[in-house]
Amino acid sequence: MDQTIYNKARRDKFSIVFDIPKALKDKIKSQAIECSTDLTTRAVESIQFAIYGTPVPRISIREIDVPYAGQTHRHTSYTRPTYTPLTIGMSIDNKFFNYWLLWAWLNLWNDRKSSDFDPSFNGNITNTSVEDYITSFTIYGLDEYNNKVISFAYKNVIITDLSEIEFSYRNTEEIGCTASFVFDQLDIKMLIPAC
């Protein structure tokens, strides 16, 4: 045994590296904010959040019942149903940037003013694709020394829900929220040798 039985994964040892969708990057660059931590410099390619909650949804390959000779045998269906939506929790940073970033992405799908898909799209299909509005991200599981041990890579990700901000003057903990995403593909890789 290479580890002691006390080496356990912790609930707060996950981080997410979020690739910012192209349409959202363009929206951020159009914001005119003049300060040293300008949004245009913070959102070049990706951003990292510390997360909590459920970093991986249920994964299943359903069974089928095969009747034969008066009995029923269970067998694999060889098919993977669509993944359930991924809901993750996060602490909101002190400038509310991570919350605003997710809100702005959700707002591209249905604009708060026009109730339409991204108003800057203007039906110009030649320069814009739906691919510009979806992204990928990777969630890393960390060990007790904050080393990346495992990665969960999500592809073709779309945000579908952003929760209320969990806030109370009576609570001195960090302010948090949750966000839900749908995705097409999930790949899991060990980043250190399993042995």
Domain residues of the chain, as ranges? Answer: 14-58+74-190
Q: What pLDDT does 33 receive?
A: 54
pLDDT digits (tens, 9 = 90+) for 159-178: 999 999 877 778 777 888 99
CA torsion 11-97-182-122 (nearest 10°) is 180
How many C-beta neighbours within 10 Å does residue 154 have? 25
> Does residue 64 or residue 113 have the better pLDDT?
64
Return d(Cα 165, Cα 141) in angstroms, integer: 25
pLDDT digits (tens, 9 = 90+) for 42-98: 546 788 888 887 788 888 899 999 998 889 999 999 998 899 999 998 888 888 888
Q: What is the mean pLDDT of the chain?
A: 82
The answer to whether the pTM exceeds 0.85 is no
Q: What pLDDT does 189 receive?
A: 94
Amino acid identity of residue 46, one-letter, is S
* 14-58+74-190 under CATH 3.30.310, yes or no: no
Give the H or E element holding residue 101.
helix 97-109
Q: What DSSP character marks residue 120? A: G
CB 9 within 8 A of CB 141: yes
